[in-house]
Amino acid sequence: MVLRVGMLFVCLVLMTLTADARSGVFDLTKYKPGGDIAQALLAAWKEACASPTPSKVLIPGGKYTLGAAELLGPCKAPIELQVEGKVMAPAQPKGESWVTFQRIDGLTLSGKGSFNGQGHIAWASNNCHKNPACKGFPINLRFNFVNNAMIKDVTSEESKTFHVNVLGCKNITFQNFKIVAPAESPNTDGIHIGRSEGVHIIDSNIATGDDCISIGDGAKQVHVQGVTCGPGHGISIGSLGKYDNEEPVAGIFVKHCTLKNTDNGVRIKSWPAMKGGSASDIHFEDIVMDNVLNPVIVDQEYCPWNQCSKNAPSKVKLSKISFKNIRGTSKTPEAVKIICSSGFPCQDLELSNINLKYTGNQGPAKSVCKNVKPKITGTLNPPGCH
């Protein structure tokens, strides 16, 4: 009798899994996750990935602990991971990745749930922003060589370092995506993009301790629209020119964004006296600054924590850049600061309809330009850069 009941239970489980497979939904709870759901998630992913028709892995509502997980392709058909619960990273940092999506064509990551990296446990020992030899910390979400992807509605919280890293991807969109971390969290860039083409970040909210969006070498056709950033270090291209063989940055469009209480607004930065590179066709338009420290900034003398020498100019070439319809308030009197390289002065840079009010008492406010002759159209307030 016991044997018969046991066999009946196994048959019921197999029937449930088979029914789920036919419906294309692979519910994580059917895989009997234990204290750490990594094994169950990987098992569900493997079955879903092998499905010849579109499939979905579901993490239902609830709170779960997840160790490091690599969700690998290629898959036989489009695949979705729907996260409705709160997924927690291990408390102790281990490795440089937490959840990795790799070599997938046709990925959707969706749901009202969140990935919580428990970064508050690691931030006190994270000095990577000033120590190049630091021990690495896990990035919440990595997208490596992922094409035709949609990441929507989910939240990344308290990453130990970068929240999202996008590498080698094509046609990937973040929509209604949310990032949450306090201003004092070190090196917690929101979304970092490198060597990827066709990246869209739309209608998203990013609060973190470093760049809300950082765009690295090889990024092409990146479109950022409707993003609210703050706290954080703003929306940045770079830093560029630190490493050998950096690929050109081209076609960056940032529009209809709001920056609140950030350390920088919209920024391009490159290292002096180091490596070459280029960035061109970069456009910031219709941006609102709310109490921002450096609202409009090009900094080709970027050298934090004295990690380089300023004795030689930056070798990164900047061209075809525009800042248009930027308004709001600045916490510093130098509301517009365009510091280009003396070795490779900026080419074809336009300032159009800039209206920034300085809120402090160190005035008057001004715009400062160096190694550049910008084209100025409409208004430039504060004045300068002639």
Instruction: Supply the residues annotated as catalytic.
Output: 233
Residue 232: which of 291, 267, 189, 284 has the closest Cα? 189
Amino acid at 120: H
CA distance 53 to 39: 23
* SS3 call for 168: coil
Contact 156, 163 (CB under 8 A): yes
Helices (H), the chain: 2-23, 38-49
Residue 258: which of 224, 282, 281, 283 has the closest Cα? 224
CA distance 240 to 267: 12
Residue 353, phi then psi, degrees to nearest 5: 50, 65
- DSSP code at position 187: T
Whether the bond into 382 is cis, omega within 30 of 0 = yes
What count of other Cβ atoms lies within 10 Å of the Cβ of residue 386?
Answer: 9
Residue 263 structure tokens: 């350390």
CA distance 292 to 360: 12
